[in-house]
Structure 1
């Protein structure tokens, strides 16, 4: 009776396929087929290992450094992209002007792949996005801020925190119908009406063109998106371990045409709908509380996977699409934020080929939050930093404790990024939302249980 040991002696490599191969070989042997016939047939069953490229593909870089810190940042970004361009599914890549290193793929990086969806290329903050609502009546911006602060919720969801709201039935049904989402419907309900921490915000300002007040929100898919990412990565690692075990885990992928790949793609679209509903639901409640009519609104994601007419999957890790039809509800406009003290840009598409049809998603960073706090903030008093960084703005931190790493000084020069958008023809800036103020989560982790425990030790 043919055994696994014998197959290994014949030169076959063990793996997930091995148990089935042994059974097939034994059945063929019982049917009286020769060892040569069995060997020949098993060769058709053995998975062919897809090897990473020895040499990377070229990629475009639109980041123009102007200081030593920016040159250091660029070196880290291009180093990460260099590794990505060796992944066998990758066909093209680009670095945006706001790029900064962040693990497998830089923030501000775009990678196009063939027949493959890489969860690690969009990360846990799936569908991080922007939404704007413009009001008809010119309202007191402080009043808008006060109303928004009462209605929204930033930071972690504690328990089943629904604020009396649930996601629409059609979206809940889509969750239930998808294997990746079916058992996290509760997370979708619990996170509805909430926003994130870190760099996520609710921005109040006015259109430069008309003076009309506007609110802009920035957040992703919260708890359900993070859970989907975790499951997608697990499935991708299982697949890639079989077909391309030498590919780094962070670059693992799902075969887009496989059952799991199609289900994951469908789950991404459902999470997109959840996120859109969450943005606009918050806006609707603010509009209702203000008693002000809505005259315009649109939204766009900048941390997602897009499929273009060429059939490739464009993974944007913090990059704004700048090509027509990037989503079913694209109206030709996108939002590009900078920092709380700078206008949010309203842009139209340019679809520059060398940029893969993308533009920056914001101002980006030149260094990590930790390094910024250590080298730029240091021992300076919080009130002094706040006074300097937020002069003339109404800046509020929802948990009550400022997150100094999110102040304007933590970001790249907005003027520099805006200049590069124009110079490189990455998007057409058609209007601005000038700032009155912003609400952010703040440093809620200061009082987190794990921090207190660590401090106690």
Structure 2
């Protein structure tokens, strides 16, 4: 069948207004979703939307056309405010100036209401890594990050920690056999999961196209700093919420996100945000989507789906390894970062972005990892309002990936691993332990944000490559 040919005059003839952007929006949508359909059928669809646009508000394909017909979105260049919204920086002396300036720019957005920077902070795109920003009725895709819903997940098993050394080959084989990394490794057998029944996969066109990729990548981990580790869990708080007696246990810790699905969602909606809220050059990547618009609502649904998908991936990883262990976990502790939540800040509902920051509301548990040779910590949030109830999401980089590759050798890494009794499967020079800040210094700079409940010491680490 020939490709659909649709012109502006075709829409004007059936009554579409020439003013505004509705004609270009309609043509783009039809060519994208109905490019092989007969022109008369497409025109009939567009007539139906024009006749009753309210009926189509929220529709995955026609919603944006309907929105423009009912309440046209006026795009104009946005200017930054001269004053910053209130903010607090934790561990300021250990944070690069570039990361601080990225936060300062974000705080001048007209939608910004409050912000914070965690002690593991370093430069990123848009918001810095470790950046927290509360906005009014708007979400910033690059304030969430490319790896939407990236998260930590820890399973604690009633297996003596000494088994890791005594049966090391067995655990190395488990990681090699039951974990997959990067853009191409996938499991031969995919486990069914209720996430794939979600209506977003059917109703949001951008997400619908990602279904097959998401299904194929379930239970796998990304590249970069993503990992799955066997290690020693040391529970130190007798009053821990997960009811595990004080002592040392075998644990599995994973770090990964929403894989290709989240990355594609981030790319698509960042492009829309930049088109809809153009900003000065230094703030370009902080473009936002108004939550009262079709695209804003669609991104919010897609973001939450990606976050739940990231959680499903972790649960699948832990389920596979638990089956190989032949044991059920005593407890599981997990948390998102790279996400946005609706929360009450200073008596007002705001959108709190945590890009590389751990939720730390009072009593909420989370995990803050170190590096492959440094311990991570199970923590309990204190609900500190100055950090917008957040804490660091890890040790944070002190060397960029490029700098790490230029200054660190494989011999340096091997010595570090040997000194700490760690076995590494995969992993690049850019993820060397020396590329990260001292986790103990980072934790010392956030004692008012979290309480330590226990620790996790890596012993067998699997990463990409």
Q: How far apart are 1:193 and its partner, in Å?
A: 1.7
Question: 2:5: which partner in 1?
Answer: none
Give the secondary structure class of the aligned counterpart of 1:91: strand
TM-score normalised per structure 2? 0.76
User: Is 1:321 aligned with 2:359?
Assistant: yes
SS at match of 1:125: coil
Q: Which of 125, 132, 151 matches 2:154? A: 132
Cα distance in 2 for partners of 1:403, 1:247 equals 31
Are the structure 2 counterparts of residues 84 and 284 from structure 1 closer, same or farther at C-alpha, using a change threshold of 3 Å? same
Cα distance in 2 for partners of 1:246, 1:370 equals 24
Partner residue of 1:222 out of 255, 259, 266 = 259
Structure 1 residue 342: Cα displacement: 1.6
- Residues in 1 aligned to 2:251 and 2:72: alpha-carbon distance in whole angstroms: 60
Q: Matches of 1:100 and 1:247 in 2, distance apart?
A: 17
SS at match of 1:271: helix
For 2:418 and 2:121, locate their aligned partners in 1 and report how far apart those are by CA, in whole Å.
24
SS in 1 for 2:205: coil
Q: Between Structure 1 and Structure 2, how many residues are aligned?
A: 381
Aligned to 2:59: none
- Tell me if the contact between 1:167 and 1:274 (Cα under 8 Å) persists in the aligned partners: no
Shift of 1:390: 4.3
Mapped partners of 1:247, 1:179: distance in 2: 31
The correspondence for 2:424, drawn from 390, 396, 402, is 396
Q: Of 88, 111, 116, which residue of structure 1 is paired with 2:133?
A: 111
Q: CA deviation at 1:18?
A: 10
- Change in CA separation of 1:51 and 1:167 when aligned onto 2, cut-off 3 Å: farther
| Mapping for residues 197-216 of structure 1, pairs under 5 Å | 197-209=223-235, 210-216=247-253
The alignment's C-alpha RMSD in Å is: 2.5
Aligned counterparts of 1:418 and 1:320: Cα–Cα separation in 2: 13
1:183 is displaced (CA, Å) by 1.5
**How far apart are residue 166 of structure 1 and its match?**
4.8
Cross-structure match for 2:33: none
Deviation at 1:349, TM superposition (A): 1.2
Equivalent residues of 1:172, 1:185 under 8 A apart: no
- 1:349 and 2:381 matched: yes
Residues 126-146 of structure 1, C-alpha deviations (whole Å, 9 max, x = no match)? 111000111123362223332
TM-score, reference length from structure 1: 0.78
Residues 80 and 170 (structure 1), Cα distance of their counterparts in 2 relative to 1, 3 Å cut? closer
Q: 1:307 and 2:342 equivalent?
A: yes
Secondary structure of residue in 2 paired with 1:292: coil
Query: Partner of 1:60: helix, strand, or coil?
Result: strand
Contact 1:302 1:316 in 2 (8 A): yes
Note if contact 1:116-1:254 (Cα within 8 Å) is conserved in structure 2.
yes
Which residue of structure 1 lines up, in the alignment, with residue 212 of structure 2?
186
Out of 255, 258, 274, the position equivalent to 2:309 is 274
Q: How far is 1:332 from its partner?
A: 2.3
Q: Distance in 1 between matches of 2:192 and 2:287?
A: 31
Structure 1 spans left out of the alignment, 5+ residues: 1-13, 21-43, 325-330, 443-457
The runs of 5 or more residues in structure 2 that have no matched partner are 1-18, 26-70, 236-246
Report deviation, 1:384.
Answer: 4.6
> 1:87-106 counterparts in 2 under 5 A?
87-106=109-128
Aligned to 1:294, the other structure's residue is in SS state coil
Taking structure 1 as reference, are residues 313 and 384 closer, same or farther at Cα in structure 2, changes over 3 Å only? closer
1:177 Cα deviation after fit: 3.0
- Pair 1:80-2:102 in alignment: yes
Contact 1:351 1:426 in 2 (8 A): yes
Pick from 371, 396, 412 the counterpart of residue 364 of structure 1: 396
Per the alignment, do residues 51 and 17 of structure 1 end up closer, same or farther by CA in structure 2, a change over 3 Å counting? farther
Alignment-derived partner of residue 289 in structure 2: 254
